[in-house]
A = this chain, B = another copy of it.
Amino acid sequence: MIKGKDGSVIPKVVIERLPRYYRYFDWLENQMEKISSRKLGELMGSSASQVRLDLSYFGDFGQQGYGYNIKKLKNELGNILHVNIPMKFVIVGAGNIGRALIRYNAFTQAGFKLTAIFDVKPILIGEKINDVPIYDAKELGPFVKEHRIDIAVVAVPKEAANEVARVLVENGIKGILNFAPMDLDLPNNFPVENIHIIDKILALSFFISS
């Protein structure tokens, strides 16, 4: 459980909204100096009170009658989200999704350093993509342990996903970004975020047809 400055437990949904605030401040920074909770809520499609409540968990950044100082808030949120401490990550699975993520510059821009790629296909092992080496999946465990990797992006077929997750956890990985279309079998409260593309398009097709 994560606690705010006043000691209250911060709901997971609030934490998951923070990167969105960060994105907005990053974009607003070059356009204005300060912004009110009302205006920010309008931009983000939520209410002023929601904005004030969300941000209040992380300390009193706003000033009544003045609004939020954008640059300061961006820096504070950046610290909270640890964008300033580079995190090391690996990508497991060099299939379609894995390959796209290897070339996805946004990770680097956000301060994440791709250290290695792992796959089972002999033809890929020993190759490099964007200067990042592809290693045999058998080496995943020792590599994660030795290099103290923070995050693993799991982009393997679902049949392999739980075995990959087990190896990662056993070797001290701190968090998993999972693209495999299943829920991984992980210890309670283990940091994991899922990106289930098919769930999203199925939900969309339901909304459309209703």
The interface size of chain A toward B, counting residues with CB under 8 Å, comes to 58
Contact at A110–B203, with CB atoms within 8 Å?
A: no
Given the known interface contacts A174-B208, A206-B82, A207-B2, the answer about A193 and B201 at a Cβ–Cβ threshold of 8 Å is yes
Identify the stretch in A15-23, A119-127, A139-147, A162-170 within 8 Å (CB) of chain B at 4 or more residues: A15-23
Given the known interface contacts A198-B106, A201-B110, the answer about A80 and B206 at a Cβ–Cβ threshold of 8 Å is yes
Copies assembled? 2
Contact at A201–B112, with CB atoms within 8 Å?
A: yes
Please, which residues of chain B bring their CB within 8 A of the CB of A85?
209
A101 and B199 alpha carbons, distance in the complex (Å): 14
Please, which residues of chain B bring their CB within 8 A of the CB of A45?
183
Residue of B nearest to A107 (CB): B201
A residues whose Cβ falls under 8 Å from a Cβ of B:
2, 15-16, 18-20, 22-23, 27, 44-45, 80-83, 85, 87, 89, 96-97, 99-101, 103-104, 106-107, 110, 112, 150-151, 153, 174-177, 181-183, 191-193, 195-210
Q: Which of B110, B181, B200 contacts A177 (CB 8 A)?
A: B200
6 other A-B residue contacts (CB within 8 Å) besides A106-B181, A151-B204: A20-B196, A20-B199, A23-B181, A81-B205, A151-B205, A175-B204
Given the known interface contacts A22-B202, A81-B202, A198-B106, the answer about A15 and B191 at a Cβ–Cβ threshold of 8 Å is no
Contact at B199–A19, with CB atoms within 8 Å?
A: yes
Residue of B nearest to A200 (CB): B193
Please, which residues of chain B bring their CB within 8 A of the CB of A106?
181, 197-198
Residue of B nearest to A100 (CB): B100
A182 and B89 alpha carbons, distance in the complex (Å): 24
Contact at B100–A199, with CB atoms within 8 Å?
A: no
Contact at B82–A205, with CB atoms within 8 Å?
A: yes
Contact at B191–A207, with CB atoms within 8 Å?
A: yes
Contact at A205–B96, with CB atoms within 8 Å?
A: no
Please, which residues of chain B bring their CB within 8 A of the CB of A18?
202-203, 206
Given the known interface contacts A81-B205, A100-B100, the answer about A195 and B193 at a Cβ–Cβ threshold of 8 Å is no
Q: Which of B19, B44, B151 contacts A208 (CB 8 A)?
A: B151
